[in-house]
Structure 1
Amino acid sequence: MPAPERPRRTEAMATVRTILPQGRPPRREDVLLCEPGPGDLGWIVQRNAALHAAEYGWNTDYEGLVARIVADFAQDHDPHLERVRTAELDGRPVGCAMCVRDEAPGTARLRLLLVEPDARGLGVGGRLVTAAVGFARGAGYRDLALWTNDVRTAARRIHRRQGFALTGERPHRSFGKDLTGQDRRPELRGPAG
């Protein structure tokens, strides 16, 4: 059974949320994992598109893919089988990851892992992936799939630390670039990382 849900973010929570003292650098414990609130799904689309364009030179084809993934989730998801988590720091979103149903029976898919550059090094990506893997286990999935690209080296390091092994790769042309797509899967039966 999945861990109890953290409450949905509300205006009242904004007064309880950790706001960093001026001049103090952020720490790992300053980052909160939350259910997405109003506007957060749009943020996921916008930030994925903008960061992947800036860091990898990907075109708007990637934005279209992310928009379809997010729209499918928003329109028709089962909260017992699918989840989005955002990471917040100082009252603003700094990361996200999704765990959604895959087409293959008994399989979930990790999607759209993202950490803002100024929040990297705080363990945000690892926490988001740990939460997704734990959710997949708790929801009873037998398998968790991930498709990524070899240029996403930081994300691949997080995936490897979380037990995602490379199961296949192939070159492709997507998002205006020649890339090598990678399929990865973790072991879901053992303890959470």
Structure 2
Amino acid sequence: MGDVVLRDADRPGDLGWVLMAHGERYAAEYGWSVEAVTARIVADFAASAVPGRDAAWVADLDGRRVGSVLCVREEATTARLRLLLVEPDARGLGVGRALVERCVGFARGAGYARLVLWTNEPLAAARGIYLAAGFVLDGEETHTGFGRELLGQSYVLDLAGPEGAP
């Protein structure tokens, strides 16, 4: 396999791929229907991203898309990590970790004090990446947003801490 390249998600089709990959991957691996939620996130990003405050990245492996993550403004001092995904054949190569690190670094550089995210309990590999990056569980709540009952989890990362205050 070749090298993984992280790049801005600014090429034609990048955001469409994010939507498609999430729909296909979560249906195949978990039986979840995530396209309505993902479509809203992608559409909101495409319509209102502010350069320097919002960003999206794609990971390419051998010239094809294999991962994604977005960093979006939640409020003046808080950003939200959204839509982390790594395709199965790119897992174990550090793609998820690299995408999360890119998002965290961007949020710090943009001057956010906190980075938050929401995920679901079955996504253990992603949770491991978030915990390794310093995120802390902030709350849990059941929901049925993806067609079945799941335990949603909220995480927070203090960006103004000793590791890199803006």
Q: In which range does the TM-score fall when normalised by the shorter chain?
A: over 0.9
Map Cα deviations across residues 35-81 of structure 1 (whole Å, 9 max, x no partner).
Answer: 1211010000000011011111102xx10111111111111110110
Measure the CA separation in 1 of the matches of 2:121 and 2:77.
26
Q: Match for residue 109 of structure 1? A: 80
> Which AA in structure 2 matches 1:79?
P
Measure the CA separation in 2 of the matches of 1:163 and 1:31.
23
Measure the CA separation in 1 of the matches of 2:125 and 2:152.
15
Kindly indicate whether residue 19 of structure 2 is the aligned counterpart of residue 48 of structure 1.
no
Kindly indicate whether residue 51 of structure 2 is the aligned counterpart of residue 79 of structure 1.
yes
Q: Match for residue 133 of structure 2? A: 162
Map Cα deviations across residues 89-142 of structure 1 (whole Å, 9 max, x no partner).
Answer: 00000000000011x331100000000000000000000000000000000001
Match 1:139 to one of 102, 110, 117: 110
Kindly indicate whether residue 34 of structure 2 is the aligned counterpart of residue 34 of structure 1.
no
Report the structure, 1 or 2, having the larger strand content.
Answer: 2
- Any runs of at least 4 consecutive aligned residues in structure 1 with deviations exceeding 6 A, and if so which? none
> Which AA in structure 2 matches 1:99?
C
| Max Rg structure | 1
Q: Match for residue 95 of structure 1? A: 67
Match 2:124 to one of 144, 150, 153: 153
> Which AA in structure 2 matches 1:38?
P
Residue 187 of structure 1 and its aligned partner are, at CA, apart by 2.3
Any gaps of 5 or more consecutive residues in structure 1? 1-25
Map Cα deviations across residues 139-159 of structure 1 (whole Å, 9 max, x no partner).
Answer: 000111101110111111111
Q: What does residue range 51-62 of structure 1 map to in structure 2 within 5 Å?
A: 51-59=25-33, 62=34
Q: Secondary structure at the match of 2:149?
A: strand
Q: TM-score, normalised by structure 1?
A: 0.81
Measure the CA separation in 1 of the matches of 2:124 and 2:30.
11
Task: Give aligned-pair identity as a percent.
Answer: 53
Count of residues in Structure 1 that have an aligned counterpart in Structure 2? 162
Q: Secondary structure at the match of 2:144?
A: strand
Q: Secondary structure at the match of 1:174?
A: coil
> Which AA in structure 2 matches 1:181?
G
Kindly indicate whether residue 93 of structure 2 is the aligned counterpart of residue 122 of structure 1.
yes
Any gaps of 5 or more consecutive residues in structure 2? none
Q: Match for residue 159 of structure 2? A: 188
> Which AA in structure 1 matches 2:111?
G
